[in-house]
Amino acid sequence: MGRMRSPLAWARLIAVAAGYAAAFGAFQRFMPFSVASPWFVSVAMVCVLGLAFMAQPIVMIRMPRPLRVIRAWEAGGRVYRALGVSAYGALLRRTPLRLFNRDVYLRSGLRDTARVFEELEAAEASHFWAAVLVAPYMAYLVLYGMWAPLFWITLAQVLINLYPIMHLRLTRHRLGALVSRRHVRRQARVAPAG
């Protein structure tokens, strides 16, 4: 699927980035805060996710190649089940949280799988890169023994990035398995009887 490179997509991305910059300036002026604050870092992490989402019509962010493949231990589901990833997914689907990214849901049945696979990986990559951008700040907190802010940033990382990544990977695996089973059934129907 080709990416839309229209002036409108660029205008939306620039408008959102400008809005984030204006909000940052206003908050800094009227409610001064440190850019080293865990609250600022958490908000910045969410802004990165917002910008990545707005950039999708122009470019789809991808996971690094070595991390794209879903490992056997992930596909088995035991680890994710023990961590409550399925319950997290149910929470996303059954609450207004599902509105954060409606593009990761099938709209037209299984005909829609190629688009949804692309959207799932882009969402996963957005969370991955947002987490990576916060990692140096977490290292700084460890280096200076700032345990309370480290606790809050770690909690934000787990809730905002780690669980969504695990859920998106599990969803990608399940969708792939569903498509594979459907393909096998079709092949069995088409194959001549021997």
Write the DSSP assignment of 24-90 as a string of letters: HHHHHHHS---TTSHHHHHHHHHHHHHHHHHHTTT------HHHHSPPHHHHH-HHHHHTTHHHHHH
pLDDT confidence bin for 193, thresholds 50/70/90:
low
How far is residue 193's CA from residue 190's CA, in Å, rounded to a whole number?
Answer: 9
Q: How many helices (H) and strands (E) does the chain have?
A: 9, 0
CB atoms within 10 A of CB 29: 8
How far is residue 127's CA from residue 169's CA, in Å, rounded to a whole number?
Answer: 12
How far is residue 133's CA from residue 44's CA, in Å, rounded to a whole number?
Answer: 10
pTM of the predicted model, to two decimals? 0.82
Q: Delimit the domains of the chain by residue range.
A: 58-190
State mean pLDDT over 64-70. 92
Q: Write the DSSP symbol of residue 159.
A: I
How does pLDDT run across 118-159, given as a tens digit for each residue? 889 999 999 999 999 999 999 999 999 999 999 999 999 999
How far is residue 88's CA from residue 93's CA, in Å, rounded to a whole number?
Answer: 9
